[in-house]
Amino acid sequence: MSKILHVLVQEIVAFVNTIDIPEMSCYLDSCGIGGGKHPIQYDIKGFKIRGFKIRASTIKFVEGKGLSVTLGGLYFNLPTTNFEVKKYVWPTKVHCSGHFSGSLNDLSVVETVDITANSAGQPSATSTSAWDWGSGLKIDVGLVRVCKFIEHIAEWFIGNINKLLIAKIKEVLPKAMDSLIKTQLNALIQGLALKKEIDKYATITFYLTDSPNFTNDALTLDLSGQVVKTPTIDYYL
């Protein structure tokens, strides 16, 4: 179990550090924020998650279910990223621009993995996750250019930028991690169905006759085996 967890944690860290959070933009009043006839329009450039760390991790059997993987003390950085806010103030549209950087700390996630036998007798994993977003996003914001007409709007946007960023991160990160964990665990558990070479002429192929049975400290497998002849090549002179 510890080997499975070690491999999984390494794969998750490497993968999350490649995730790109896409650009968040609104150029129309219909999608603006803040209300009113001409709400605030914005353009937040895309950014990359970097410095992702997992400070604590556990894996255990879950009775009647499968596995539970808990990842705690998750942390990552948001690199310096540019943004622009716009507001129509008669007779023109004025704007302010700036940049932000920050970090998200003390996240945790519990992945519950259900392991069953598919129709071919091979193990198959499906997972669900529950996230705790910890102490939230901490950011530092700087304004490059401030329009006096909308200085208060820029300040309002800065005060609410966390919500926009967290919403986008919640949209991207859990989905990406769920997919990765499912893929990695499915690859790792294929060892539950074994092939054993008898001799050079035959191999026994084992397959699951039922889904694995999990208790809090043990895993029980119902296996059946089939002898398969090893293909040979006949040589003729």
pLDDT of 213: 72
Whole-angstrom distance, CA of residue 57 vs CA of residue 132:
15
Angle between helices 151-188 and 2-16 (to 10 degrees): 140
pLDDT of 156: 66
Q: At residue 98, does pLDDT exceed 70?
A: yes
Q: Higher confidence at residue 136 or residue 169? A: 169
CA 179 from chain centre, in angstroms, equals 7
- As to burial, measured by CB atoms within 10 angstroms (0-12 exposed, 13-18 middle, 19+ buried), residue 85 is buried
Task: Report which DSSP code applies to 33.
Answer: B
Which amino acid is located at 201 in the chain? Y
Helix, coil or strand: residue 21: strand
Q: Higher confidence at residue 63 or residue 18? A: 18
Confidence of residue 72 (pLDDT cuts 50, 70, 90): very high
pLDDT of 145: 65
pLDDT of 197: 67
pLDDT tens digit sequence for 220-229:
766 676 766 7
pLDDT of 152: 63
pLDDT of 51: 92
Confidence of residue 53 (pLDDT cuts 50, 70, 90): very high
Q: At residue 233, does pLDDT exceed 80?
A: no
**What are the domain boundaries of the chain?**
2-191, 192-229
pLDDT tens digit sequence for 166-222:
888 899 999 888 888 888 877 776 665 566 667 777 777 776 777 777 776 666 766
CA 19 from chain centre, in angstroms, equals 9
Number of Cβ within 10 Å of residue 117's Cβ equals 19
pLDDT, mean of residues 86-101: 78
Cβ atoms of 102 and 139 closer than 8 Å: yes
Cβ atoms of 60 and 77 closer than 8 Å: no
By percentage, how much of the chain surpasses pLDDT 90?
Answer: 13
Cβ atoms of 97 and 60 closer than 8 Å: no
pLDDT, mean of residues 135-147: 76
In words, the CATH class of domain 2-191 is: alpha beta
Which runs of E-coded beta strand occur in 45-168?
Answer: 47-48, 50-53, 56-62, 66-89, 92-117, 123-132, 137-145
Q: Higher confidence at residue 200 or residue 21? A: 21
Q: Higher confidence at residue 89 or residue 148? A: 89
Q: At residue 54, does pLDDT exceed 90?
A: yes
Alpha helices per DSSP H over the chain: 2-16, 151-188
CA distances from 1 to 20, 185, 235 (A): 31, 12, 47
Q: Nearest 5°: phi and psi at 56?
A: -150, 145
